[in-house]
Amino acid sequence: MTDTKHPGNNAKAGATNPGTGPKAGRREWLALGILILPTLIVSMDMTVTYLALPVLSAALKPTSTELLWITDIFGFLEAGLLIVMGSLGDRIGLRKLLLSGASAFTAASILAAFSPSAFWLIVARGGMGIAGASLLPTVLSLIRQLFHDDRQRTFAMGLYTTCFSAGTMLGPVVGGFLLDHFWWGSVFLIPVPLILLLLVAAPFLLPEFKHPSVKGIDPGSAALLITAILPVVYGLKQVAQNGLAVLPVLLMIGGAALAIAFVVRQRRIDNPLIDLRLFQSARFNAAITALFIVLFSWSGIFLFIGQYFQSVVGLNSFSAGLWMLPAATGSILLCMLAPLGLKVFSRGTLMAAGLCTLAVGIAALCFLGTSSLYLAAAAGILLSGGCGLVVTLGIDLVVAAAPPEKAGAAAGLSETSTGFGGSFGIAILGSIWIASYRHSMRTGIGGKLSGLNGNLSGAAAEEARNTIGGAIKQATVLHDHRLALFAKEAFIRGLHLTAAVCAVLVLATALLVAMQFRQSPSSGSRT
């Protein structure tokens, strides 16, 4: 490997334990401090856009379709390109790709901030998604290359996931301040000073990593992978927003067929985009499965916690955000404790414990009432804490399992797994909740709330049946609190069912992970 690391990197090469590599020195830890910046950039951007939607909608007046693409195109393009970008970093050099992606992200962010129309904002957000796909896999791959000692690398991965959690928490706070004092575009300029610091410091602190024997990317594999992922992601988003329909289902089936063709091609060519031999490891498969399930559960369930605070309890956005802060704190705490836990417990035990913690948090929501503020906050802490623990240990295992020259592709695979988990969680768990809510509202308006039938027009009744926000709006118009009260009860009833299904799934995954790690013990240390 072409490696321009400082000679001090190997100063402690002799200070190793069985199953570990050479210890990292001061230069590596300084480099890690720089790698935190793109992590914060991407995680903060994920949350500030939704916060700015009401203001930018008033300013740019997008159509409903344009508004949908403003929110979705970033994640849509990012998910489709993560593995390809990770593999590209293995070929052209990790530092080069990181700096190129950061520069492109800056340019796209500035375009977004000063977009004169909804069309140009969509273009800018698309550019941010493409550039963002190059950042997180490259950061993970660089951590893999910088830290060869198992415990140090796990600690570095813990810091990575901690900063990601902190970014999602800081995004609404910083974004809210900017929206209160400046124009809507200011939220898209948040990454600019962080990226400028990265561009200045990275050439001095980050060595270049590029394996001379790695060949170029196979264009056929890249095309197949992108065209397989994009229709699946788009179909999932459509199902999550509009329910099951023929077109999104056909798109997902077509994407799955292309994914099969991609796997077949990887088996036949000499230079595969993804090394399928990684999937021969039970521990690797368990980690990928755990990453998928925790993001499936966290994304699908946490979405309802935010709605619960605002639509059911009646808090304003700022107060709801404050009640959700403890959840982010729980995630940060367990992300940081994960490396310390490996000194006492095995990785499989800790990952199973994280999944069980997540399951307990989800199950607690089955006991939620219409004013259970403290229970909802406690559930959020367990949800995010369990998720943070599993993600820290799972990503570390996935990235470390690949050979150094394939670390970028493995990092892209781990990020794709979490991205797909989140999308599937929102779509599937959201569909379960919607089905329950609509059933409750349909029977309620037709039965217990039959007196409203004469006052609710067809369109108004349909709005009340579809969302709790619509029901509360109609209750305000009619000055009838019964409709709002029943909608809140229907929301809770749907959440109870969704949480019960999800908790069983997570517990089953915890059992699977424990069994897989027990059947495939690691050599060396407790990792």
The answer, yes or no, to whether residue 500 has pLDDT greater than 90, is yes
More confident residue, 5 or 396: 396
Alpha-carbon distance 494 to 444, whole Å?
A: 14
pLDDT in tens, 484-496: 788 888 889 889 9
More confident residue, 351 or 9: 351
Domain count for the chain, please give it.
3
The pLDDT of 22-35, averaged and rounded, is 78
pLDDT of 111: 92
CB 494 within 8 A of CB 440: yes
pLDDT of 521: 54
Residues 402 and 359 in one domain: yes
pLDDT of 2: 42
pLDDT of 462: 66
Residues 207 and 243 in one domain: no
Residues 267 and 123 in one domain: no
| Backbone φ and ψ of 462, nearest 5° | -65, -40
Residues 406 and 297 in one domain: yes
Point out the domain boundary residue: 272, 297, 313. Answer: 272
Alpha-carbon distance 483 to 318, whole Å?
A: 26
The answer, yes or no, to whether residue 326 has pLDDT greater than 70, is yes
For residue 392, which amino acid is it?
A: T
Residue with tokens 């414990």: 353
More confident residue, 334 or 320: 334
More confident residue, 13 or 429: 429
Confidence of residue 525 (pLDDT cuts 50, 70, 90): very low
Confidence of residue 251 (pLDDT cuts 50, 70, 90): confident
More confident residue, 75 or 379: 379
pLDDT of 426: 75
Phi-psi region of 243 (alpha: psi -120 to 50; beta: other; left: phi over 0): left
Question: Most confidently modeled of 74-78, 387-391, 485-489?
Answer: 387-391
Point out the domain boundary residue: 272, 289, 313. Answer: 272
pLDDT of 526: 45
Residues 11 and 128 in one domain: yes
Paired strand residues for 3: 209
More confident residue, 487 or 357: 357
Alpha-carbon distance 311 to 320, whole Å?
A: 10
CA proximity to 240, closest of 71, 412, 56, 388: 71
When mean pLDDT is compared across 9-13, 18-22, 254-258, 291-295, the lowest value belongs to 9-13
Confidence of residue 69 (pLDDT cuts 50, 70, 90): confident
| Coil, helix or strand at residue 210 | strand
pLDDT of 354: 92
Residues 297 and 406 in one domain: yes
Residues 368 and 463 in one domain: yes
Residues 187 and 233 in one domain: no
Residues 30 and 173 in one domain: yes
Residue with tokens 């988003």: 237
Average pLDDT, whole number, for the chain?
78
Confidence of residue 13 (pLDDT cuts 50, 70, 90): very low
pLDDT of 108: 92
Structure pTM? 0.78
pLDDT of 277: 78
The answer, yes or no, to whether residue 22 has pLDDT greater than 80, is no
Residues 267 and 383 in one domain: no
pLDDT of 352: 92
Point out the domain boundary residue: 248, 272, 296. Answer: 272
Q: Over the range 130-155, which residues count as b (16 or more CB within 10 Å of their CB) and which as e?
A: bbbbbbbbbbbbbbbbbbbbbbbbbb
Residues 359 and 477 in one domain: yes
Residue 119's CATH number: 1.20.1250.20
The pLDDT of 412-435, averaged and rounded, is 79
The pLDDT of 306-318, averaged and rounded, is 77
Q: How far is residue 409 CA from its own chain's centroid? A: 18
The answer, yes or no, to whether residue 91 has pLDDT greater than 70, is yes
CA proximity to 152, closest of 392, 395, 339, 15: 339
Residue 510 sits in which domain range? 281-527
The answer, yes or no, to whether residue 317 has pLDDT greater than 70, is no
Residues 415 and 478 in one domain: yes
Alpha-carbon distance 105 to 127, whole Å?
A: 7
pLDDT of 8: 37
